Amino acid sequence: MSDWHPASWQEKLAKQQAKYPSIQALDEILDQLSQLPPLVTSWEVDALKSQLAEASRGNAFLLQGGDCAESFSDCTSPVITNKLKILLQMSLMMIHGLNKPVIRVGRIAGQYAKPRSADTETLDNITLPSYRGDLINGPAFTTESRTPDPVRLLRGYGRAAMTLNFIRALSESGFADLHHPENWDLDFVSHSPLSNEYHKAVKDLSNSLRFMETLGSAKNSELNRVRFNTSHEGLHLHYEQALTREVPNRSGYYNLSTHLPWIGLRTAEIDGAHIEYFRGIKNPVGVKVGADMPTEWIQALVERLNPDNEAGKLVFIHRFGAEKIAEGLPKLIDAVRQTGKCVLWVCDPMHGNTETTENGYKTRRFDNILSELEQTFDIHHREGSILGGVHFELTGDDVTECIGGARGLDEAGLKRAYKTQVDPRLNYEQALEMAMAIVRKTAG
């Protein structure tokens, strides 16, 4: 790694970066950011890597989920708690049904930067820079809002810190105690078509916890306190670099803005700046992979991002779409197998299944998401590889962004509570239903 340092990416082409009006103003902010304390610790990062290694062996399962794009205005108590609640509920269903530990990773506390397919947006003959996430600019279609402002980097760091502080405080104080799932009841649970199934799982799990504790085999803090990890797309490389640190008594550099940063599909070129930055950090690293990526590219990603073949280091988050996965996934698995190296396989059934309705709503169909997920389980099983986790865009709130699910949300219903800034998310009920479907699939 002698040719790597936290800024070596700057010698490569960095796609999807903001164009700031003043480089001097940016540098001043980055200087401040690089002095601020880290958001996570190297111990936590290494602990997550060990857990992901277990998931790659089939002994644990990763549940990664949250907003497509967090917004600064959503840094509120109800939004954060509802997101935690739904992730806890889903994980509870999965612990119960899969009979293995579930590793919870939120797309949370830093998911503020978005890749866009176009650099600019034109409305009524006015062309402005595209909205790239609250870390960079604002969504309102005005010159002022769309001009990248480096002060947003500090605000993003601040929002991430506040979010994480609240998550940590809740977890420490017993909110996430598996003995008290009533803490995480969302309002809907009592009047949902899924309520019976959920409450039965809660009851079963409480009984088995009590049983294990009676035997003395499970009286440990793991049951009282549930660990949450954070993740975001490591898109804004100046921000990531400013939070990349060396720590005492451990070698190498850690990205201490989050536990699990990932590389988006649009910035995964082998010779690009993102791969350069990511290849040097100690964190476990996710990469979004999908259709139309040639074998050589896939293999080069494995070699570049996991040269030492460390278990739990490299997470391949595949996102094909329900139509393409049957053809694409076996080739992907084969390409990785040829390298002889280890990856953790995770299915993102959201990003290959996005469509736009006649009324202009960007949406996803519950059935397509489920179909991709079910095909994934079958394909990995057939190929003798292990699906170690799932990756969802979801919220703990009652939004109407994806079509389908137990309540049969239809196209006309989308407008009732369509709130996302970027991609459509599963609402709480659809998310819980997805967790139940995963359990059903693995049991069947």
Stretch that binds ligand PEP, among 93-101, 150-158, 263-271, 405-413 (CB under 6 A): 263-271
Minimum separation from the CB atom of position 325 to ligand PEP (A): 14
Residue 98's alpha-carbon distances to 65, 126, 141, 229, in angstroms, are 18, 53, 46, 20
* Burial environment of residue 295 by CB neighbours within 10 A (0 to 12, 13 to 18, 19 or more): middle
Q: Is 177 helix (H, G, I), strand (E, B) or coil?
A: coil
CA distance 328 to 69: 27
Query: What DSSP string describes 110-132?
Result: S------S-SEEEETTEEEEPP-
Minimum separation from the CB atom of position 353 to Co ion (A): 11
Minimum separation from the CB atom of position 267 to ligand PEP (A): 8
Q: What is the C-alpha radius of gyration for the chain, rounded to an integer number of angstroms? A: 21
Tell me which of ligand PEP, Co ion, none is bound by residue 115, counting a contact when its beta carbon lies within the kind-specific cut-off of 5 to 8 angstroms: ligand PEP
Report how many residues bind ligand PEP under the rule CB under 6 A.
Answer: 9
Whose tokens are 């190297």? That residue is 42
Choose between 96 and 351: whose C-beta lies nearer to ligand PEP: 351
Of residues 108-167, those binding ligand PEP (CB under 6 A): 115
Total number of residues shown for the chain? 444
Query: What DSSP string describes 140-170?
Result: SSSHHHHS--THHHHHHHHHHHHHHHHHHHH
Choose between 245 and 304: whose C-beta lies nearer to ligand PEP: 304
For residue 314, what are its two tokens? Answer: 């490299």
Choose between 68 and 87: whose C-beta lies nearer to Co ion: 68
Q: Which of 45, 52, 62, 68 binds Co ion (CB under 5 A)?
A: 68
Q: Which of 74, 401, 423, 429 binds ligand PEP (CB under 6 A)?
A: 423
Choose between 360 and 384: whose C-beta lies nearer to Co ion: 360
* HEC sequence for 239-294: HHHHCEEECCCCCCEEECCCCEEEECHHHCCCCEHHHHHHHCECCCEEEEECCCCC
Minimum separation from the CB atom of position 184 to ligand PEP (A): 25
Binding mask 277-296 for ligand PEP (x = CB under 6 A): -----------x--------
Stretch that binds ligand PEP, among 44-52, 147-155, 258-266, 335-343 (CB under 6 A): 258-266
Does 54 contact Co ion by CB under 5 A?
A: no
Minimum separation from the CB atom of position 187 to ligand PEP (A): 27
Q: Is 56 helix (H, G, I), strand (E, B) or coil?
A: helix
Minimum separation from the CB atom of position 327 to Co ion (A): 23
Of residues 411-430, those binding Co ion (CB under 5 A): 423
Does 62 contact ligand PEP by CB under 6 A?
A: no
Choose between 279 and 288: whose C-beta lies nearer to Co ion: 288
Q: Which long-range contacts (CB under 8 A, 24 or more apart) does 322-325 make?
A: 322/349, 322/352, 322/353, 322/368, 322/369, 322/371, 322/372, 322/375, 324/290, 324/291, 324/352, 325/352, 325/372, 325/375, 325/376, 325/379
Choose between 105 and 333: whose C-beta lies nearer to Co ion: 105
Minimum separation from the CB atom of position 370 to Co ion (A): 18
Residues in touch with ligand PEP (CB under 6 A): 68, 115, 264-266, 288, 319, 351, 423
Residues in touch with Co ion (CB under 5 A): 68, 423
